[in-house]
Homo-oligomer: A and B are copies of this chain.
């Protein structure tokens, strides 16, 4: 079970002939999460062979068209394919008001339920959790209410140290309890501490998706130490003033966030359509944070 991100769209508001508006699929321990859904996302899912039936949760960062205009088509297609499973959408509450009339008109007999999970963009919130994973919002600073999403595996159970268990004659029926953290108590009452019978758990992986935003301190704190950070880089540093004015970031600023937050790797995206060649983004970021990469349509990254 991996933890990887596939880029479906890397461009900012004006799509180009080669770059789509924002969308990503995160595969986390066998679950598939769609993050943002710009126009053309359903075609991009097909091109990248993501099975539609595996998409059950969609996370929408903010209500600008280039992050949501793929939803009506995707929902219609799910309906035409006979989906019956609930589809969960996480966004600010306005989305439901905007989508409902469209779904009612264009998909009169939608065979599944769209379940909205509204959140308040101005504060961080735990918006999803299951036995393996939790997802929190990160308030961002954009022209409209906008959040990032922090995907984090829960602390995993410690691993059984098979050699130690053999040494202390631990019966098999105890292994589950030891994995859960209990000390072992033998039939004659001897107590063996859990730490002696187990190994450290595998590390919990985390991924932060942050677009669209100006740089701000709260963001840096929120993504501290994540394994991978997707940070928007709409412009190059020679357009810093424009970035600030439009509540976006430059590649340099994204790299500084990655550096200050001490993340594992940085993925840059949301490129302005004014740029055809993206290598200057990579150069600018790597000067500050060497482990930087470009989000490009169809590329997958292990987190």
Contacts and interface: CB of A to CB of B under 8 A. Distances in A.
Interface residues of A, number: 32
Contacts of A106: 63-65
Nearest to A44: B17
A81 B14 CA distance: 9
Interface stretch (A67-75, A182-190, A279-287): A67-75
Contact of A105 (B40, B66, B72, B94): B94
B14 A105 contact: no
A39 interface: yes
Given A98-B105, A101-B98, A73 B16 contact: no
Contacts of A72: 39, 65, 69
Copies of this chain, whole number: 2
A148 to B, nearest CB: 21
Contacts of A73: 15, 21, 39, 65-66, 69
Contacts of A102: 98, 102
Nearest to A45: B17
A81 B15 CA distance: 12
A47 interface: yes
Contacts of A69: 39, 69, 72-73, 76
Contact of A47 (B13, B17, B70): B17
Taking each of A39, A47, A101, which has the highest tally of chain B beta carbons within 10 Å of its own beta carbon? A39
Contacts of A70: 39
Interface in A17-64: 17, 20-21, 39-40, 42-43, 46-47, 63-64
A77 interface: yes
A164 interface: no
Taking each of A21, A40, A42, A80, which has the highest tally of chain B beta carbons within 10 Å of its own beta carbon? A40
16 contacts: A13-B80, A15-B43, A17-B43, A17-B46, A17-B47, A39-B40, A40-B43, A63-B106, A64-B106, A65-B73, A69-B72, A69-B73, A69-B76, A98-B101, A98-B102, A98-B105
Interface of A: 13-17, 20-21, 39-40, 42-43, 46-47, 63-66, 69-70, 72-73, 76-77, 80-81, 94, 98, 101-102, 105-107
